[in-house]
């Protein structure tokens, strides 16, 4: 939830899922063996072999003893992955969507962070070309000119460290090529969607310097209609670009520079649907909840601007079995928004957030590799500056006094938080072959985190100041009243070990077991401006067993994992009301511990030369062992894990049609499933999303010379209405709000490759 200041007091037992049954049927079918001729089309039809960098080294996906889903550029294009949110159904036990404030809400295996405010950190790290992104704003990436995306499940505390307690998502952009290549793409769809993209790559100095540049523009109307002014809501208007240079004067040295930027400026912010009635001071009664989730009636949704830019330089020197690497990066983010959180045309609860953030990171790595030993060691430094001004524009706010009495309590306020975060770490990861088949990995990372914060608050109601922009101009000049503030600083240290045993049962089958520890940084509750309320880091021990297999002449890939997480000190954001004063309370603290267990399966098989089956299934069990709710009450037996559906999965079929010399024709049909999901810490049944399925289809034609391709696609063909995000503000101002996923969308993609 975005920034606002609190008003002062008034003056299991699993069953076999249908997707699992489908797998058993598929394993019973005769599987087609590929012909020896390996043309480009045969390669696309087959089970794609992907190399990953999950261990900071280039390795075959099937040889890495970690639960990873990796999607190549070709797979991302075929699946119509246009932003990170489209990954959700493609990866077992992943919940990923955009939140209320352009933030990436990422949960892996039930671990993540739902809040968007900058005083807390994500529970899943997002990396852009090996650079950690410190804020959830700007981390919900559009997929522009990718090389591949890797999703690492489970804590990555040793090699990735900072705030990867749930896992990591790695976006790797396409690198410059020696040969000249380029493409242009056009996307047209419903809701007046218009997308343009293009990329060009080639040699600038023969055998020495190559370059690449990519550009993407996306626009569409909003999915929702606003009854207040007749406009649309949740529209899109984004421009993103990336340029890169690869300098390689010798076989031993390379320098890789990546520059990127994005500008998102839609006409409206994302508005939630009012799921329950809310009291209206002006009407003197309750406004009913709406029936249509894509129909809103709000006033404070007129601003949403997000700009990012970054630079990363990777220097690499190789000699013998050694590699030394330096990754230096700088990023900036500027975010401004108005959000309507009463879901009505009243001015009951308008929230604004103006945030400027910059970060610098430096990583030094030493890699050593022989046939039987590999070592990855490094030093890491990260520094982040974040300046946030946020608060409430709520002249019709009220306090419920009981017995149907609502006391007007107008709020026009601002809070300014200046926060500096630093993180330093040293790590090593050693893999040694004990025998020809058995390997041992030992890893360890020691991290020191420090946060320094200066927080100030002011009230402005009755001063003639009525807008967020006016408060921004006069904050700290003496116009406001009721000034509060504090300065605080705290350090935290963490040791994150890892041990893995893996065994090559056959040439194409790997089994492994691991134990690893992850942590997520502590901090201070940034919504409080009168006192410093620190919260401690989260910690989690995760135990995992798994297997990875290529079967039937590499025509079947079957990867499985089972895990148990011992999750302690987890940080929860919740909203309540002071029983003595009636004041709105925002709480952020370490609320207890949880045990989470589950299993995952990813299965791909060529059933015939033309037909491929893809299945993934995830199962999550467990829950809170201890959970402290309002007023110190133990409520673990009354709450469910957030963004942790018991079952999730996807079944997809791909078919190649034989059209001879006229080119190639490919079609895909898939259905994804997600069981009941609780979206709020309160486990609100009103906001919980019941089980649902989504149906997607796409058809692609490629010309005989492979330059032209046209794809028709449809997503959520049954036009299912489903919540992805929610806020339970039933304590105050007495409303529950739901954010819905995209309705039925369809379109056409046209691409020309030079």
Is the pLDDT confidence value at 484 over 70?
yes
- The overall average pLDDT reported for the chain is 90
Q: Which of 358-372, 512-526, 622-636 has the lowest mean pLDDT?
A: 622-636
Whether the Cβ atoms of residue 208 and residue 271 lie closer than 8 Å to each other:
no
Boundaries of every domain in the chain: 18-753
Reading the block at residue 327, the tokens are 């990754």
Higher pLDDT, 447 or 26: 447
Lowest mean pLDDT among 64-68, 118-122, 601-605, 629-633: 629-633
Output 116 or 543, whichever has higher pLDDT.
Answer: 543
Closest CA to 727 of 288, 269, 349: 349
Of 22-31, 355-364, 623-632, minimum mean pLDDT range: 22-31
Give the three-class secondary structure for 572.
strand
- Of the pLDDT bands very low, low, confident and very high (cuts 50, 70, 90), residue 34 is very low
Closest CA to 156 of 243, 217, 84, 66: 66
Question: Is this prediction's pTM over 0.75?
Answer: yes
Q: Which of 145-159, 382-396, 562-576, 644-658 has the lowest mean pLDDT?
A: 562-576
Other CB atoms closer than 10 Å to residue 317's CB: what's the count?
14
pLDDT tier, 9 (very low <50, low <70, confident <90, very high otherwise): very low
pLDDT at 10 over 70: no
Contacts of residue 358, Cβ cutoff 8 Å, sequence gap at least 6: 330, 331, 332, 333, 384, 385
**pLDDT value for 240:** 97
Band the pLDDT of 48: cuts 50, 70, 90. Answer: confident
Give the span between the Cα atoms of 498 and 492, in whole angstroms.
20
Q: In 3-state terms, what secondary structure has residue 63?
A: helix
Query: In this structure, are residues 357 and 389 in contact, taking their beta carbons and an 8 Å threshold?
Result: no
Candidate from 432-446, 522-536, 615-629 with smallest mean pLDDT: 522-536
* pLDDT > 60? residue 40: no
The residues near 154 (Cβ < 8 Å, ≥ 6 apart) are 66, 67, 108, 109, 166, 167, 516, 518, 542, 544, 563, 565
Q: What is the DSSP secondary-structure string of 441-453?
A: EEEEEEEEEEEEE
Count of CB atoms situated within 10 Å of the CB of 298: 27
Cβ proximity of 414 and 391 under 8 Å:
yes
- Work out the average pLDDT over 634-641: 90
pLDDT for residue 15 is more than 50: no
Please state, in angstroms and rounded to a whole number, the distance separating the CA atoms of residues 79 and 670.
Answer: 10
Render pLDDT for 584-593 as a digit per residue (tens, 0 to 9): 666 777 888 9
Distances, alpha carbon 480 to alpha carbons 409, 442, 460, in Å: 17, 57, 5
CA-to-CA distance for 112 and 642, rounded, in angstroms? 9
Q: Which residues contact 170 (CB under 8 A, 6 or more apart)?
A: 53, 54, 127, 130, 149, 150, 151, 152
At residue 588, the pLDDT reads: 79
pLDDT at 14 over 80: no
Q: Which CATH class is domain 18-753?
A: mainly beta
Measured in whole angstroms, how far is the alpha carbon of residue 14 from the centre of its chain? 27
Element containing residue 11 per DSSP (H, E): none
Q: Is the pLDDT of residue 662 over 80?
A: yes
Q: What percent of the chain has pLDDT over 70?
A: 92
Cα distance between residue 289 and residue 279, in whole Å? 11
Q: Are 342 and 349 spatial neighbours (Cβ–Cβ below 8 Å)?
A: yes
Torsion angle of the four alpha carbons 102, 108, 110, 114, in this order, in degrees rounded to the nearest 10: -10
CB 300 within 8 A of CB 315: no
Mean pLDDT is lowest, of 320-334, 353-367, 633-647, for: 633-647
Please compute the mean of the pLDDT values over residues 502-515 and round it to a whole number.
96
Q: Identify any residues that bridge with 445 across adjacent strands, giving them in sequence order.
A: 427, 496
pLDDT score, position 643 = 96
What are the φ and ψ backbone dihedral angles of 22, each rounded to 5 degrees?
-60, -35
Tell me what pLDDT residue 648 has: 97
Please determine, for residue 11, whether its predicted confidence score (pLDDT) is greater than 50.
no
351 neighbors 336 (Cβ within 8 angstroms):
no
In a 13 Å sphere around the CA of 722, the CA atoms on its Cβ side amount to: 22
Which run of H or of E encompasses 178? Answer: none
> Mean pLDDT throughout 195-224?
96
pLDDT of residue 585: 64
């Amino acid at each position: 939830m975005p920034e606002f200041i609190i008003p002062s007091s008034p003056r299991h037992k699993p069953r076999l899922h249908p997707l699992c049954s489908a797998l058993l049927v598929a394993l019973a079918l005769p599987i087609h063996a590929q012909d020896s001729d390996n043309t480009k089309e045969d390669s696309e039809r087959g089970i794609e072999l992907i190399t990953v960098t999950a261990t900071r080294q280039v390795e075959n996906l099937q040889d890495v003893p970690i639960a990873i889903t990796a999607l190549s550029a070709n797979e991302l294009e075929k699946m119509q992955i246009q932003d990170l949110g489209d990954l959700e159904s493609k990866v077992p036990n992943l919940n990923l969507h955009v939140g209320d404030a352009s933030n990436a809400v990422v949960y892996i295996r039930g671990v993540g962070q739902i809040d968007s405010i900058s005083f807390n950190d994500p529970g899943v790290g997002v990396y852009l070309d090996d650079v950690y992104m410190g804020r959830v704003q700007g981390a919900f990436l559009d997929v522009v000119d990718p090389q591949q995306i890797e999703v690492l499940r489970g804590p990555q505390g040793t090699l990735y460290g900072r705030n990867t307690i749930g896992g990591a998502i790695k976006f790797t952009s396409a690198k410059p090529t020696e040969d000249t290549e380029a493409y242009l793409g056009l996307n047209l769809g419903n809701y007046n969607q218009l997308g343009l993209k293009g990329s060009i790559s080639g040699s600038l100095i023969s055998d020495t310097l190559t370059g690449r540049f990519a550009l993407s523009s996306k626009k569409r109307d909003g999915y929702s209609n606003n009854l207040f002014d007749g406009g649309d809501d949740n529209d899109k208007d984004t421009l993103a670009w990336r340029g890169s240079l690869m300098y390689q004067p010798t076989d031993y040295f390379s320098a890789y520079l990546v520059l990127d930027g994005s500008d998102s400026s839609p006409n409206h912010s994302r508005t939630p649907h009012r799921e329950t009635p809310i009291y209206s001071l002006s009407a003197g009664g309750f406004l009913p909840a709406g029936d249509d989730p894509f129909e809103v009636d709000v006033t404070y949704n007129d601003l949403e601007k997000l700009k990012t830019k970054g630079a990363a330089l990777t220097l690499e020197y190789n000699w013998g079995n050694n590699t030394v690497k330096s990754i230096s990066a700088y990023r900036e983010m500027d975010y401004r928004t108005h959000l309507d959180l009463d879901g009505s045309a009243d001015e009951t609860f308008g929230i604004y957030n103006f945030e400027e953030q910059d970060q610098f990171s430096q990583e030094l790595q030493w890699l050593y590799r022989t046939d039987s030993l590999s070592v990855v060691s490094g030093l890491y430094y990260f520094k982040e500056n974040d300046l946030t001004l946020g608060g409430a524009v709520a002249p019709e706010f009220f306090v419920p006094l009981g017995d149907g009495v609502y006391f007007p309590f107008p709020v026009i306020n601002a809070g300014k938080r200046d926060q500096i975060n630093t993180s330093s770490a040293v790590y090593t990861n050693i893999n040694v072959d004990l025998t020809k088949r058995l390997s041992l990995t030992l890893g360890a990372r020691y991290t020191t985190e420090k946060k320094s914060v200066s927080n100030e608050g002011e009230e402005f109601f009755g001063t003639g100041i009525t807008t967020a922009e006016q408060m921004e101009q006069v904050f700290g000049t003496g116009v406001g009243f009721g000034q509060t503030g504090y300065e605080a600083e705290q350090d935290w240290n963490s040791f994150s070990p890892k041990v893995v045993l893996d065994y090559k049962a056959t040439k194409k089958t790997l089994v492994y077991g691991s134990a690893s520890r992850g942590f997520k940084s502590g901090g201070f509750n940034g919504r409080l401006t009168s006192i410093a309320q620190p919260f401690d880091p989260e910690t989690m021990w995760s135990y995992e067993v798994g297997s990875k297999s290529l079967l039937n002449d590499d025509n079947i890939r079957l990867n499985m994992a089972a895990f148990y997480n011992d999750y302690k000190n987890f940080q929860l954001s919740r909203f309540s009301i002071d029983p003595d004063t009636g004041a709105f309370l925002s709480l952020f603290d370490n609320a207890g511990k949880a045990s989470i267990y589950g299993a995952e399966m990813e299965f791909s098989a060529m059933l015939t030369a033309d037909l491929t089956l893809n299945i993934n299934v995830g199962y999550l069990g467990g829950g809170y062992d201890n959970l402290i709710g309002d007023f110190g009450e133990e409520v673990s037996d009354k709450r469910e894990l957030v963004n942790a559906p018991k079952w999730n999965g996807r079944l997809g079929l791909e078919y190649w049609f034989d059209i001879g010399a006229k080119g190639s024709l490919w079609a895909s049909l898939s259905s994804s499933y997600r069981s009941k999901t609780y979206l709020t810490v309160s486990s609100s049944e009103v906001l919980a999303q019941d089980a649902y399925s989504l149906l997607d289809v796409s058809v692609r034609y490629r010309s005989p010379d492979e330059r032209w391709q046209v794809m028709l696609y449809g997503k959520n063909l049954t036009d299912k209405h489903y919540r992805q995000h929610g806020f339970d503000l039933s304590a105050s101002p007495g409303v529950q709000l739901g954010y819905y996923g995209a309705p039925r969308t369809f379109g056409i993609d046209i691409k020309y490759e030079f």
